[in-house]
């Protein structure tokens, strides 16, 4: 009886322990995993890598497309050549068939002539046979008639003598006529036999020509079949190439959409870096990478010819140089003196769209202006060359009125740390392309 309370307490403790275990297991399942957020520079670098990967893939696909198009041109040219060869063979085949048809007609004509000649020979042989029989009959009759008279009567009586003479004349006449007809029939038979031999030889020759032509026809038809087979192969390859180009083009279009989205993200990160108001440590950029927008920040007089613009400077080993000497030839024209701005093209245009130059480098009208000003209506400012980028703010001078806040600038150095080599400077940046873009709007 005393064991009952102890057993009850043990059961209660066991239930309590089970509840605690269940609670902890529930909490462990629902505890969120904390992931360290990437810094803006790290995120920017990641986006840059993704963009680079997409652009490399697009470049490879475009190269593949160009290769396939070259192959298509080869296939198309080969198909044209094959078509010409097939057409030529078809013409030869048609010619052979016509010649064979003519030979068949000629063989038929020769066969008919042979039949006619054989019929003529048979007729001549029948005539000769009949003539010989008729002549033999006459001669027999004459011989029997002659025997009815005595030789003495024929010799003694005048009438007998006359009959002998007549008989001899008649006999000679019949014999001569018969001999002439027999000779004529024999000549005719010889001629017909010769004609028959000639016709048979001609027929054999024509049959031989027909056999040869049919063999040539079979060879041409085999060649035509081979060419058609090759043509089908090239046609199939061409269709496969067209399908591959279409597939690659669709992939490029998809990648282009992804590239646009990443470009927007890249620009947004740049804007956030600009908005921080702090100098960002140098990170790699390539020529054409986005740096910001043409803006009004810093000391910019809205009523001046420049207005919203990019103030672009170049340095070489710390020495200020004329940007025009490094830009592509014929890039800009000085608005005052008409001088051309453009040089060896070692750097690319720093803004897109191209815009116009509103102020030149150390001109007579602005001798202390160590840059060129470019206005493009709120264009995107891009790195003019590859290197490392830094962003910063520059306070408005005390003597100036900067309604758009401190100047936002970027510099791109060919060497990390900017200790030497080429350096380009981009002033009056904004983090938005809106006309009222300013340092203040960036901070907001």
What confidence tens digit (pLDDT) does each residue in 85-106 have? 899 989 989 998 999 899 889 8
Helix (H) or strand (E) holding 310: strand 310-316
Q: What percent of the chain has pLDDT over 70?
A: 78
Q: Check whether 3 has a pLDDT greater than 90.
A: no
The pTM assigned to this predicted structure is: 0.56
Helix (H, G, I), strand (E, B) or coil at 392: strand
Mean pLDDT computed over 36-60: 85
Mean pLDDT computed over 365-370: 93
Closest Cα partner for 412 from 398, 396, 423, 428? 423
Closest Cα partner for 374 from 406, 394, 351, 391? 351
Starting at the edge strand found earlier in the chain, the sheet holding 429-430 runs 351-352, 380-382, 290-294, 429-430
For residues 326-354, one letter each, b for 16 or more C-beta atoms within 10 angstroms of the residue's C-beta and e for the rest, the string is bbeeebbebbeeeeebbbeeebbbbbeee
Structure tokens at 176: 């001569």
Which residues neighbour 390 within 8 Å (Cβ) at sequence distance 6 or greater?
Answer: 279, 280, 281, 282, 410, 411, 413, 418
In angstroms, the CA 418 to CA 86 distance is 69
Q: Check whether 58 has a pLDDT greater than 90.
A: yes
Burial class (CB in 10 A: 0-12, 13-18, 19+), 236: exposed
Q: Check whether 156 has a pLDDT greater than 60.
A: no
| Number of Cβ within a 10 Å radius of residue 198 | 14
Structure tokens at 437: 């873009």
Helix (H, G, I), strand (E, B) or coil at 126: helix
Closest Cα partner for 266 from 246, 294, 237, 288? 288
Helix (H, G, I), strand (E, B) or coil at 290: strand
In angstroms, the CA 28 to CA 217 distance is 88
Question: For 323, which DSSP code?
Answer: G
Helix (H) or strand (E) holding 223: helix 158-275
Mean pLDDT computed over 309-334: 96
In angstroms, the CA 194 to CA 196 distance is 5
pLDDT reported for residue 29: 41
> Is the bond preceding residue 353 a cis peptide, omega within 30 degrees?
yes
Question: For 341, which DSSP code?
Answer: E
The residue written with tokens 């769209």 in the block is 353
Mean pLDDT computed over 299-305: 65
Helix (H, G, I), strand (E, B) or coil at 295: strand
In angstroms, the CA 250 to CA 263 distance is 20
State how far Cα 149 lies from the chain centre: 116
Helix (H) or strand (E) holding 151: helix 151-156
In angstroms, the CA 330 to CA 341 distance is 6
Task: Note whether 423 and 312 are within 8 A (CB).
Answer: no
Which domains, and CATH codes, for the chain?
Answer: 44-251 (1.10.287.2610), 278-443 (no CATH)
- CA-based torsion, 403, 381, 334, 316: positive or negative: positive
For 149-221, strand residue ranges (E) read none
Residue 218: pLDDT band (50, 70, 90) is: very high
Name the average pLDDT for the chain. Answer: 82
In angstroms, the CA 423 to CA 412 distance is 6
Mean pLDDT computed over 229-258: 94
pLDDT tens-digit map of 66-90 = 999 999 999 999 999 999 989 998 9
Task: Identify how many contiguous H helices and E strands the chain contains and give both numbers.
Answer: 5, 14
Closest Cα partner for 355 from 421, 297, 307, 298? 307
Q: Check whether 4 has a pLDDT greater than 80.
A: no
Nearest-10 Cα torsion for 295, 427, 345, 389:
-110
Closest Cα partner for 435 from 293, 336, 298, 286? 293
């Amino acid at each position: 009886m005393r064991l009952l309370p102890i057993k009850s307490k043990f059961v209660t403790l066991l239930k309590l322990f089970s509840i605690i275990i269940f609670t902890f297991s529930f909490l462990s399942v629902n505890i969120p995993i904390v992931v360290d957020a990437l810094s803006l520079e790290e995120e920017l670098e990641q986006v840059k890598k993704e963009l680079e990967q997409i652009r490399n893939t697009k470049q490879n696909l475009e190269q593949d497309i160009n290769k396939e198009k070259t192959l298509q041109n080869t296939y198309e040219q080969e198909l044209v050549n094959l078509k010409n060869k097939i057409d030529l063979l078809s013409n030869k085949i048609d010619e052979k068939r016509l010649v064979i048809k003519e030979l068949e007609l000629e063989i038929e004509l020769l066969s008919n002539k042979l039949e006619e000649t054989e019929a003529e020979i048979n007729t001549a042989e029948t005539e000769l046979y009949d003539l010989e029989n008729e002549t033999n009959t006459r001669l027999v009759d004459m011989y029997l008639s002659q025997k009815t008279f005595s030789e003495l009567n024929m010799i003694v009586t005048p009438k007998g003598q006359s009959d002998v003479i007549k008989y001899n004349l008649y006999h000679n006449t019949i014999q001569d006529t018969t001999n002439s007809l027999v000779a004529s029939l024999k000549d005719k038979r010889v001629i017909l036999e010769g004609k028959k031999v000639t016709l048979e030889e001609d027929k054999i020759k024509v049959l031989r020509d027909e056999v040869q032509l049919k063999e040539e026809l079979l060879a041409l038809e085999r060649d035509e079949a081979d060419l058609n087979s090759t043509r089908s192969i090239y046609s199939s390859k061409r269709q496969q190439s067209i399908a591959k180009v279409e597939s690659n083009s669709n992939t490029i279009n998809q990648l282009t959409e992804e590239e646009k989205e990443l470009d927007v993200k890249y620009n947004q990160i740049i804007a956030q870096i600009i908005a921080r108001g702090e100098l960002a440590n140098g990170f790699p950029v390539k020529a054409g990478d986005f740096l910001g927008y043409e803006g009004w920040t810093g000391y910019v007089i809205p009523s001046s010819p420049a207005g919203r613009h990019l103030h672009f400077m170049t340095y070489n080993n710390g020495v200020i140089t004329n940007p025009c000497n490094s830009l592509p030839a014929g890039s800009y024209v000085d608005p005052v003196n008409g001088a051309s701005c453009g040089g060896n093209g070692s750097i690319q245009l720093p803004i897109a769209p191209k815009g116009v130059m509103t102020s030149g480098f150390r001109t007579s009208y602005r001798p202390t202006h160590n840059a060129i000003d470019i206005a493009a209506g709120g264009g995107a400012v891009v790195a003019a060359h590859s290197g490392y980028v830094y962003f910063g703010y520059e306070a408005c001078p005390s003597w100036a009125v900067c309604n758009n806040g401190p100047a936002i600038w970027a510099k791109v150095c060919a060497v990390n740390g900017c200790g030497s080599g080429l350096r380009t400077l981009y002033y009056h940046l904004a983090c938005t392309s809106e006309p009222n873009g300013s340092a203040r709007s960036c901070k907001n």
